[in-house]
């Protein structure tokens, strides 16, 4: 998560994608280029293993990208005392607006099964009716970045 704008009136936090998302898209592009090159080079490319392997690599990269794609945007407005949020995945999109008074807590949630050497966390806003995570994925948080972000949000909405 990245703080895009921080002022006395607004706090804007967004996530533009993970390292895995970029890795999978890069693999899809590289293997697609190889498959196109092999298809243009050989008239019987569909029967060659190097073309089939490149096509399989491109498909795997594309499926991985679809599985890891996520965009998040959270804007905390102190003047209106409301948080407007939007989270988008490959095939789903969620958005909403939550008043500060409905927020019961802001926490850095730990993943089940993580350990003390590689803690995995994500920041989540808790209301009486739902939990709104800033991202769907947990990230390794050795430097307590998620804990500091949760503290910053907590101080901002008070």
pLDDT digits (tens, 9 = 90+) for 97-117: 999 999 999 988 888 877 777
- The answer, as to whether pTM is greater than 0.85, is no
Question: What Å distances lie between residue 113 and 119, 120, 134, 155, CA to CA?
Answer: 9, 9, 20, 29
Residues 45 and 77 placed together within one structural domain of the fold: no
132 and 110 in a common domain: yes
Collapsing DSSP states into helix, strand and coil, what is residue 43?
Answer: coil
Asked whether residue 80 carries a pLDDT value surpassing 90, the answer given is yes
Under 8 Å between Cβ of 108 and 146: yes
Q: Do both 59 and 112 map to the same domain?
A: no
The number of distinct structural domains making up the chain is 2
């Amino acid at each position: 998560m990245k703080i895009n704008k921080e002022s006395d009136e607004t706090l804007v936090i967004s996530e533009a994608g993970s390292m895995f998302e970029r890795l999978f898209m890069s693999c899809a592009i590289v293997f697609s280029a190889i498959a196109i090159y092999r298809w243009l080079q050989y008239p019987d490319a569909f029967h060659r293993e190097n073309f089939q392997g490149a096509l399989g690599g491109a498909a795997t990269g594309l499926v991985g990208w679809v599985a890891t794609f996520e965009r998040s945007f959270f804007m905390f407005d102190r003047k209106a005392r409301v948080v407007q949020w939007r989270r988008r995945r490959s095939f789903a999109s969620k958005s909403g607006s939550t008043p500060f008074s409905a927020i019961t807590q802001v926490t850095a949630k730990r993943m089940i099964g993580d350990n003390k050497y590689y803690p995995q966390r994500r920041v989540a806003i808790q209301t009486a009716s739902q939990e709104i995570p800033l991202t769907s994925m947990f990230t390794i948080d050795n430097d307590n970045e998620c804990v500091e972000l949760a503290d910053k949000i907590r101080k901002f909405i008070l």
